[in-house]
Amino acid sequence: MAQPADTFDLATLQLSSGEARSLTLPVRLDELAFGGQTYSPGDAADARLDVSRTMSGYALRLRFEARLTGPCMRCLEDASDEVEVDAREIEQPGDDDDELRSPYVEESALDLHAWARDALALALPTQIFCRPDCLGLCAVCGENMNADPEHAHEREPDPRWAKLSELKLD
Ligand SMILES: [Zn+2]
Ligand SMILES: [Zn+2]
């Protein structure tokens, strides 16, 4: 994989209006803070960038996959999850409509790093577990329940049952 560049100059594609180009570019990825934990997507990913030249600007699509690794949200053991990113941007210079301006395009320079970072954050799964049926930690003693699914604590006898047995004795 080539050294990721943080920006890509769209003008180097020399597209005229109506033309499009697809290319594969390495993008640098950042660690993400999520649910009080830190998750790593690896240092970089090969991204596919689709560039379409419009009358006065660009329509862009960025796609890549990353494997997030970090602590399981239930038991804190190692966990990982595959994340698929598919993001689109429109850059129409001279348009007052914010929808048609991309925060990642300045003149013809595309800020690939910032776009990939934000798009990955938006594509995050809501939960990351070591396995789908992770049992988590015991609420009483903190032991990992996956290692001992039968794990249980003696319960205090319910005082109501004590009352009942007294009644029976009468
Ligand atoms: Zn777990
Ligand atoms: Zn316990």
Segment 123-143 shows an average pLDDT of 91
What does the longest C-alpha to C-alpha distance in the chain come to?
97
Segment 5-28 shows an average pLDDT of 95
Q: What spacing in Å lies between the alpha carbon of 33 and ligand 1's midpoint?
A: 18
Q: What spacing in Å lies between the alpha carbon of 92 and ligand 1's midpoint?
A: 46
- Evaluate if residue 51 carries a pLDDT over 60: yes
- Evaluate if residue 75 carries a pLDDT over 90: yes
User: Given phi > 0 = left and psi -120 to 50 = alpha, else beta, which region is 36?
Assistant: left
Question: Is the pTM for the entire model greater than 0.75?
Answer: yes
Our measurement of the distance from residue 92's CA atom to the centroid of its chain's CA atoms, rounded to an integer in Å, reads 28
Where do runs of H (alpha helix) occur along the chain? 112-122, 159-169
Q: In the numeric block, which tokens belong to residue 170?
A: 């009468």
Q: Is the dihedral of CA 17, 21, 27, 32 positive or negative?
A: positive
Q: Per-residue confidence at 153, pLDDT binned at 50, 70, 90?
A: confident
Q: Which ligand is nearest to the CA of 75?
A: 1
Q: What spacing in Å lies between the alpha carbon of 162 and ligand 1's midpoint?
A: 38
Q: Per-residue confidence at 157, pLDDT binned at 50, 70, 90?
A: low
Residues above pLDDT 70, as percent of the chain:
88
SS3 132: coil
Q: What are phi and psi of 28, to 5 degrees?
A: -80, 135
Q: Which ligand is nearest to the CA of 141?
A: 2
Q: What spacing in Å lies between the alpha carbon of 45 and ligand 2's midpoint?
A: 41
Cβ neighbours of 30 (radius 10 Å): 14
